[in-house]
Structure 1
Amino acid sequence: MSRRIAFGIGVVLLVLASCQGPGRPHATDPAPHPLPPAHHAQVVAHPDDDLLFMNPDLAEGLRSGRPTTGIFLTAGEADVPDKAGYSAARQEGTRAAYAQMVRKPNDWSRGTMPVGHGRLAEVDTLRADPDVKLVFLNLPEDANSQQGRHALTRLRQEPSLTVTTTVPAGAAVPHPQSFDRRAVVEALTALLDAFQPTVVRLQDDQPDGRYQPNWAGVHNHPDHVAGAALAEEAVAAHRPAAFSPVVQTYRDYNVADTPASLSDVEKRSTREAFTAYAGHDVLATGAIYRSWSDNSAYRWPRRGRWAAWGEGGAVQAFAVRAHGLARWTRAPHGVWSGPELLPLPEPLRPQLTVLGGTVVAQSENGSRILVRSPGEPGRWDVVDGPAAADPTENGPPAATVDSDGRIVLAVKNAAGGVSLRRQSSPGSARWQPWTELGGTDVQDGLSLVPAGDGAVHVFAATRGKVLRWEVARTGAAQAEAVPIGPARPAGAPVAERARDGSVRLLVRTDRGGELVERTLTRQGWREDRTTLPGPGGIGDPTATGPGPQGSADLIRVARDGAGNVRVADRAGGPWSEVGGAVTDHPAAVVEPGGEVTLVGLGFDGALLINPGAKGAGGLAFAGWRPAVVPPQRAD
C-alpha cells in the first residue's frame, strides 16, 4: 500500500515552530551571518571507539586544524578489580592518541564544566592546541557488575533508573554522580550547546543483524547502540547558533566482517593512533583490534545523488538535518539561495536521491520510503518498504525513472536480497507490489540505471562479488555475477549511463580502495576492465553522466582521506585533485554546455560549489566557494 501525507498550512507552521524553538532561524530564512567556524564533535561510548571506528576521518580533522571535541559516555572500566585505575589508564591512552594524531606534546590541562542540575563533566584541553578537547562523563560501562550489567542500555530503556558514575583515579570530578536517562540526554545537549559543533559523529544504533552474533540481540556492543541512540536525542534537542549540524554515523564491530577499502597509508595512520592508546590499556591486545582499525565505513552514507536539475531550469540540493530537510536552490540566472528548512513527516536516514524536483528518502526505522513531489509543497507520498520482522534491516533505497516515466525503487531487504517496486503510472501515488529479485549477502547501497522498453539495470554487491539484474517492465529477472577480477567489492556499486549509451559500473575494492570499472553494452560486458587508483578516505565514488553537450565520457568524483575531492574524466585516467574539504560524499551537476559544477557540504555546514570548465587537459576547476554568500553586517 502507498499513502499520502499532506500538510495544511496550519500544520506546517506548527511543525516548524515545534522544530525550531526560541532563537532558531525561521525555516525559510538563510542561516544567520556569520556561519560558525567548523567544529567536529564525536560522541562515543568508550575510550578507543573513536580511534577504531571513526578514523581516518578523526585524524584528518585534527591535522587540518579544525577544532575537535571527543565526548566519552562511559568510563570504560569493564569488570576489573581496579576500576578506578583501569578507567584512568584508558583515558590517559585517549589523551596520548589525540596528541599523537595532532602531532603535539601529550600535555593537557584538566578541568570541569557544568552539564545541568549540579552535575559536572571532566574537560581536558591540549595545552599546545586548545581547540582539541576531551570530555568524560564516566557513566558505568556495560560489563560493570557493581550496579548490574548493561547500565547504559537500561538507562535508555528505563527512564526511572538511576546509575552512579565511576570515578577514575585522579579524575577532575573526584566524586560519584547520579544520572538517569533524562540527565544523560540533558548533559549531552548542554555539551553540544556549549561547543556548537558543525559536524557530529555518532556510532551505529541500527547495526546490521547479520553480523556479530556474539552480541546477542544487538549485534554490536550494547553501549555503542544505547549511547548512539541517546546522543541522537541530544542532537535533536540541541539548539545550534546557526544551522543544524551535519551528522555522520559510523559502523562499529561489524567492519571486521566486511572487506576493507582503506589504503595502506591510512591503515598505518590509524594503527599508529591506536598504538599510542593501547600503550595504556592492558586489555587492548589481539588481532581483532587490527581488523577494526584497518577498516572504516559510514553506516548511512549520503552518497552522490543529493543535488540535481529541477523544474524551470533550477538546480536543487538537499540534505537531511536534525530539525528538517535543508534545501538550497540555484535559480535559472545562476544565483544560489538557502538553506530553507523544510518540515518532515518523520525522521529520515541521511541518504537521498533527487530525481528532477522529486526527492526519494527513507524513514529512520527503515519501514517506509517517502517521495516528495515538487507539485504540492509539503506533500510526501509514503510507500511501505519490503515486509520485514525488523524493518531497520531494510537498506536505503536506490531510485531512478524508467523510460516509461515511472519512478523505480530498489532496496536491500531484511533477508539480504533485493526488492524492487515501481509506480503504477508516472506521477501516481499508487505503486505496484514489491518484486523479490533474490540474492543473498547483499550489502547496503544499490544502484539503478534505466534500460530500454521500461527495463532497469539493478546493481548490488555482496562481500564477494557484484550482481546485476535486468528487470523488464513487468516480472522478475535472474541475477548475473559481474566479473571484477581478483578483488572483492569493498563498497557499494555505482552505475551510470555514458555518452555512447553504455552503462559504466564502478566499484571500490579491497585492494587498497582501488576502483574497478566495467562497461556494459547492448551486446553484453566488454572484455576490457580498467582500474583507477584508490582515492583514499571512506565512501564510494560518484559517477555522473556527461549531459547533452558533455566533453567527457563520464565524470568520476571521489573524496580522499584528507577530505579533498578528486575527479577523473576518463576510464583508467589519473585523478585530478580539486581541493576541498567537504564532508561525506560530494555531488556533481552537469551544465548544459558540458561544464561540471561540484557540490559539497562544508565542515561548517555551508553548501560549497566548485565550477569546472572544459580545458585542453580536461575539466579545470575554479576552486571551492560558498554557494550562498551571506550579506555583510553594517557594523
Structure 2
Amino acid sequence: MTMKRALSLALLTALAGACATTPSTPPGPPPPSPPMVSIFTVAHQDDWQLFMNPDAYHGMDEPQEKAVFIHVTAGDAGAGAGGDGPVPYYLAREEGALRAVRFMANAADSTIGKGVKMESAMVDRGGHGVQRYTYANAVVYFLRLPDGNIVNGKVYTPHPESLTRLRSGEAATSGTVEQSARYEGWQDLLDTLNDIVVAERVAGSGLKLHIAELDEELNPLDHPDHRAVAFAMEDVARRHPCSPIHRHLEYHTKTKPVNVTGTDYMIDVGTWAATASGLSDTYAKATWEPEHNAWIGRNYFRVTPPAGPCPSP
C-alpha cells in the first residue's frame, strides 16, 4: 500500500467515525422538589382553585410535599347553617373544595385510585374546635366563620360579625355558622391561624405561605373577606420569617391574559370542574359558568423571600 493510499484510507476512517451518530441519552426526570409544607389560606372554599392554582397542585404533587388549605369563612352568603337546598350551602361549598383536593391528589399519582374517603376530625386549634380533613399529602381546614356578605338577589348586606368588622373592632366576637366556636376578637383568630401553621409544620421541611395580595394598585376591588384573611396571614407570616410569602392577585386576574398553559392548564380546569361538581351534586348552584370561568388559566403573584430563620417545629 502506498503512503498516499494509506493516508486516504485513514482520512476516510476518521470521517466515518466523526459522522457516526452517538446514541443520545434521554434526559432523566427532574430532581425532586425539596421537602416543603405549602399553606394556602383563603376566605372562601373556591378561592385557591381560582387564584392560586397550579401552585396548589404543585404543593402536593410529590410525596415529600404537603399542602394545607385553610378556609376561614363558611362562604355561606348569609345562609348560616342553612340554605335553599337539602344540604346546607356552606357544606355544598366545602364538598367542592374537598373534591378539588381529591382530584389533584389522584392526578399527581394515578397509579392507584385513592377513593373518596377522607380522614375527618374536629381538632383543637387555638382553643377552638376546627374541622380538619386529610387526604394523601393534603390537609384541609374549615373555620366556618360567617361570610362577609348576606346575599339577597343582587343586594349585599355586610354581616354584623364579618371578618372586616372583627378586625376593626366593630364586632367584639364572631361565631361560626354551625355554632362550634366563637372567636373573642381579632387576636383570637390570628392566634388560631398561627396555631394551625405551627401544627402542620414538619421537621426537616421548608414552609411557604400563599395569601391574597393587599396592594390595591396591583389587586384592586378585591372581596373584603379576601383582604381580611390576607391581613390576618400577614400577621401570622411575621411569626414565621423563614417562609417566603406568595401574594396572589385575585378578582383582578380576569382582566389579564391567560398565563397558565399545557399540563398546568389541564390541572387548573380539572380542579375547577371538580369544585363545581361538588356544589351541583349537593343541590347548590354550580359555579361552572362564564363569570367564574373567566378566572381559569390565570395565576399572577409576587414572592417576598424569607426574612430570617424560624424556630424548629
Q: Output the TM-score relative to the length of structure 2.
A: 0.73
Q: 1:101 aligns with which of 98, 101, 104?
A: 104
What SS does the aligned partner of 1:76 have?
coil
- When residues 272 and 141 of structure 1 are mapped into structure 2, their CA distance, relative to the original with a 3 A threshold, is same
Residue of structure 1 in register with 2:95 after alignment = 92
Q: CA deviation at 1:148?
A: 2.8
What SS does the aligned partner of 1:77 have?
coil
Residue of structure 1 in register with 2:235 after alignment = 233
Residue of structure 1 in register with 2:23 after alignment = none
Q: 1:137 aligns with which of 140, 143, 148?
A: 143
- When residues 180 and 53 of structure 1 are mapped into structure 2, their CA distance, relative to the original with a 3 A threshold, is same
1:120 correspondence with 2:129: yes
Structure 1 runs (4+) greater than 6 angstroms displaced = none
What SS does the aligned partner of 2:209 have?
strand
1:79 correspondence with 2:88: no
Q: Percent identity?
A: 23
Residue of structure 2 in register with 1:455 after alignment = none
What per-residue deviation string (whole Å, max 9, x for no partner) do you get for residues 275-315 of structure 1?
111112233142122221221111x246xxxxxxxxxxxxx
Residue of structure 1 in register with 2:295 after alignment = 292
What is the correspondence of 1:261-280 to structure 2 with a 5 Å cutoff? 261-280=259-278
Residue of structure 2 in register with 1:161 after alignment = 172
Contact 1:124/1:133 (8 A) holds in 2: yes
For the aligned residues, what is the CA RMSD?
A: 2.6
Q: CA deviation at 1:160?
A: 5.9
Q: 2:197 aligns with which of 186, 192, 198?
A: 192
Q: Which amino acid aligns with 1:113?
A: V
What SS does the aligned partner of 2:253 have?
helix
Contact 1:205/1:226 (8 A) holds in 2: no
Which ranges in structure 2 are unaligned for 5 or more consecutive residues?
1-33, 107-113, 152-156
Q: Distance in 2 between matches of 1:99 and 1:121?
A: 20
Contact 1:143/1:150 (8 A) holds in 2: no
What SS does the aligned partner of 2:267 have?
helix
Residue of structure 2 in register with 1:46 after alignment = 44
Contact 2:161/2:173 (8 A) holds in 1: no
Residue of structure 2 in register with 1:180 after alignment = 185
Q: Distance in 1 between matches of 2:128 and 2:97?
A: 23
What per-residue deviation string (whole Å, max 9, x for no partner) do you get for residues 318-349 of structure 1?
x4x3xx4x5xxxxxxxxxxxx89xxxxxxxxx
Question: Which moved further from structure 2: 139-148 or 267-276?
Answer: 139-148
Q: CA deviation at 1:79?
A: 2.8
Q: Distance in 2 between matches of 1:233 and 1:124?
A: 25
Q: Distance in 2 between matches of 1:183 and 1:286?
A: 37
Contact 2:161/2:175 (8 A) holds in 1: no
Q: CA deviation at 1:207?
A: 3.1
Q: Which amino acid aligns with 2:77?
A: A
What SS does the aligned partner of 2:295 have?
helix
Residue of structure 2 in register with 1:70 after alignment = 69
Which ranges in structure 1 are unaligned for 5 or more consecutive residues?
1-35, 168-173, 212-218, 303-318, 327-338, 341-635
What SS does the aligned partner of 1:293 have?
coil
Q: Which amino acid aligns with 1:72?
A: H
- When residues 190 and 182 of structure 1 are mapped into structure 2, their CA distance, relative to the original with a 3 A threshold, is same
Q: CA deviation at 1:269?
A: 1.6
Q: Distance in 1 between matches of 2:159 and 2:268?
A: 34
- When residues 262 and 41 of structure 1 are mapped into structure 2, their CA distance, relative to the original with a 3 A threshold, is same
Contact 1:159/1:182 (8 A) holds in 2: no
Q: Output the TM-score relative to the length of structure 1.
A: 0.37
Q: Which amino acid aligns with 2:174?
A: V
Contact 2:128/2:181 (8 A) holds in 1: no
Residue of structure 1 in register with 2:3 after alignment = none
Residue of structure 1 in register with 2:211 after alignment = 202
Residue of structure 2 in register with 1:256 after alignment = 254
Contact 1:159/1:181 (8 A) holds in 2: no
Contact 1:147/1:163 (8 A) holds in 2: no
Contact 1:95/1:106 (8 A) holds in 2: no
What SS does the aligned partner of 1:67 have?
strand
What SS does the aligned partner of 2:242 have?
coil
Q: Distance in 1 between matches of 2:78 and 2:171?
A: 24
- When residues 250 and 91 of structure 1 are mapped into structure 2, their CA distance, relative to the original with a 3 A threshold, is same
Q: Distance in 2 between matches of 1:144 and 1:164?
A: 15
Q: Distance in 2 between matches of 1:273 and 1:50?
A: 10
Q: Distance in 2 between matches of 1:56 and 1:208?
A: 24
- When residues 236 and 209 of structure 1 are mapped into structure 2, their CA distance, relative to the original with a 3 A threshold, is closer
How many residues are aligned here? 251
Q: Which has the higher helix share?
A: 2
